[in-house]
Structure 1
């Protein structure tokens, strides 16, 4: 996702009292002076530290005042955020796509070899007249590409419009268009080779949109693999850690979820999987804090209710620490893929 020191001015009595033989006459005066000092300290609500001689009351009052101001400011922000999101649904769309968060920084997407992808070709596709998308991406997915490549798979990865060095602005319909175009482009050049579609996180919503579209046209891919999927965007948004401070308050759906729908963002994977005709493999880690494990399991239960194709769910124990995006680290992943994709009964 400073410490400030307060300077305290301590006044010291500079009067030096000379004791003489007749010290008895000085006692009433000293006692009167002490009482006056005590009375003064009491009136100003100041305590004197016995070790340092410093007055601490002012320090406490200052920090208490600052804490109160901070608490009021945070409360005001907390109250205002739901109304801002409701009035400006585009803000909620930004939070769903997060395409403005560009990680990692300072890499040249035209040079995949800089990321250790020595046999990778960077190129661009044009799904629409005014949109150009780049055909590979960075971050943790690079490690997945390496795993798949080591198993003999050719990987075509692309950045949706608005991500990476791809042009345009993200939208569910636009991202689906990009994916359909890329699949058709690849299918036309793959000959008799099998083509599989892999989606991760938000990409699982795009993937189910695409495969449903292809299934309806009777041209589905050879298999669909969903890594860390969700059921639909409303259930995912309600389960996301960002929503924790608001999800139990009245009006949460109206303030936060309805604006997402109003922005045309649905990603109905739970509905899509009921129309998908190709084999489906779901991978999910139990300790996924971004898309909870129970959403992936729920999607599997819905998909497996259709008995006309193979559906498999593979979970990864929370002790493995794979969380949301490190399933590629599993030494079992290559075996899981080979077994699923080479199954002769996969299409039964």
Structure 2
């Protein structure tokens, strides 16, 4: 059955021939055959070769930072997308990259006078009495995208502080060349900034979604080598490494059974250091990890989240206090983006936060 992928264009052409008027059948048949052959060569030959040799195309497909949504958002005004009690601010990394970010107050502070200056907001972080969540988004969009805002609002309703940001070339952050090293460096800087700002006043948790799971895992692995660890890490809809994600992605189905697939599609990412090998990075992470994955995820298959969980469990000795995974039934229809709507999610988060906090204080 897999060999059918080679002849799909030709079969489609045959179906078209049947409906053509008999008088023109011969001419139309020849013309359609030529068109089909050309399309076949373009789709299965020329386009893959262009992809193989173009680092810029590889980056664009991986990061999708050119997909800007919502289109008309003013990121300096988070209230326009339904985020209340928030400030917009910017950080300058060690690499001189400007990073756009939001800080969102917990529910309990919304009833008091909302601070007006950056200094007031930073003082709130320095004196935080509730957990602090740093959110790291996936590809496309920006920190104001709809499903992300839904999650911020959930954190806020749980009375947690929230900080979210856009990597380089996303949102209103500096338009700097994208790479795995670059987005990881941005994230590592923000994590360190937040940990220093909170300074142990409250536990800090990192939340990565989709591509953000690869970014956060890599950044935390680097920080762990320096003895810097947050209270815990949430990985929502994660993949184990970019090679498996490329192979299992729905867009790859028409190509992945072809004999040159790995050489044309997968190897260029690795050769250009676009690897996001979370299954390796997670073995270096010292803090507790919670993996959340929906069975009906159509972008990152559930099996890849399981592979990541198994890699971490095997390394850490299946320590249930270190590595956990929540499997979300497909009947909920939450897919890749909407685990934030899972009715059990608040309880999962609160239980994990409570256990991680106890482990850090014992």
Per-residue CA distance 1:169-221 (angstroms, 9 max, x = gap): 22111111111111111112214111011100001011111111121222210
8 Å CA contact 1:287, 1:321 repeated in 2: yes
The 1:74/1:197 distance shift into structure 2, 3 A limit, reads: same
Partner of 1:254: 263
In 2, distance between residues paired with 1:85 and 1:341?
A: 43
- 1:169 pairs with 154, 170, 177, which one? 177
In 2, distance between residues paired with 1:202 and 1:266?
A: 11
8 Å CA contact 2:205, 2:232 repeated in 1: yes
Partner of 1:188: 196
Which one is further off, 62-71 or 214-223? 62-71
8 Å CA contact 1:220, 1:278 repeated in 2: yes
Q: Does 1:210 align with 2:219?
A: yes
Which one is further off, 275-284 or 102-111? 102-111
- 2:322 pairs with 310, 329, 335, which one? 310
Whose relative contact order is higher, 1 or 2, with alpha carbons under 8 Å and at least 6 apart? 2
Cα deviation, residue 164, structure 1: 1.1
8 Å CA contact 2:94, 2:189 repeated in 1: no
In 1, distance between residues paired with 2:24 and 2:350?
A: 68
Map residues 262-273 of structure 1 onto 2, 5 A cutoff: 262-273=271-282
Report how many aligned residue pairs link the two structures: 294
> 2:300 is paired with a residue of what secondary structure?
coil
> Normalized per residue, which structure has more helix?
2
Cα deviation, residue 57, structure 1: 4.1
The 1:271/1:56 distance shift into structure 2, 3 A limit, reads: closer
Structure 1: gaps of 5 or more residues: 1-54
The 1:233/1:129 distance shift into structure 2, 3 A limit, reads: closer
> Normalized per residue, which structure has more strand?
2
Per-residue CA distance 1:142-174 (angstroms, 9 max, x = gap): 111111111111111111001111111221111
Which one is further off, 79-88 or 111-120? 79-88
The 1:129/1:173 distance shift into structure 2, 3 A limit, reads: closer
Q: Does 1:112 align with 2:78?
A: yes
> 2:286 is paired with a residue of what secondary structure?
coil
Cα deviation, residue 268, structure 1: 1.1
Q: Does 1:229 align with 2:195?
A: no
Per-residue CA distance 1:222-281 (angstroms, 9 max, x = gap): 000000111111111111111111111112111111111121111111011111111000
8 Å CA contact 1:133, 1:158 repeated in 2: yes
> 1:219 is paired with a residue of what secondary structure?
coil
In 2, distance between residues paired with 1:270 and 1:119?
A: 37
Structure 2: gaps of 5 or more residues: 1-19, 103-142
Q: Does 1:157 align with 2:164?
A: yes
Q: Does 1:71 align with 2:36?
A: yes
8 Å CA contact 1:279, 1:346 repeated in 2: no
In 2, distance between residues paired with 1:310 and 1:258?
A: 33
Cα deviation, residue 68, structure 1: 3.6
Instruction: Report the TM-score when normalising by structure 2.
Output: 0.77
Cα deviation, residue 61, structure 1: 6.3
- 2:97 pairs with 131, 146, 150, which one? 131
Instruction: Report the TM-score when normalising by structure 1.
Output: 0.80
8 Å CA contact 2:240, 2:308 repeated in 1: yes
Cα deviation, residue 115, structure 1: 0.3
8 Å CA contact 1:90, 1:263 repeated in 2: no
8 Å CA contact 1:282, 1:296 repeated in 2: yes
8 Å CA contact 1:310, 1:346 repeated in 2: no
- Superposed CA RMSD: 2.0
In 2, distance between residues paired with 1:237 and 1:220?
A: 30
In 2, distance between residues paired with 1:58 and 1:177?
A: 66
Cα deviation, residue 63, structure 1: 6.0
Q: Give the structure with higher Rg (CA).
A: 1
8 Å CA contact 2:90, 2:100 repeated in 1: yes
Q: Does 1:241 align with 2:241?
A: no
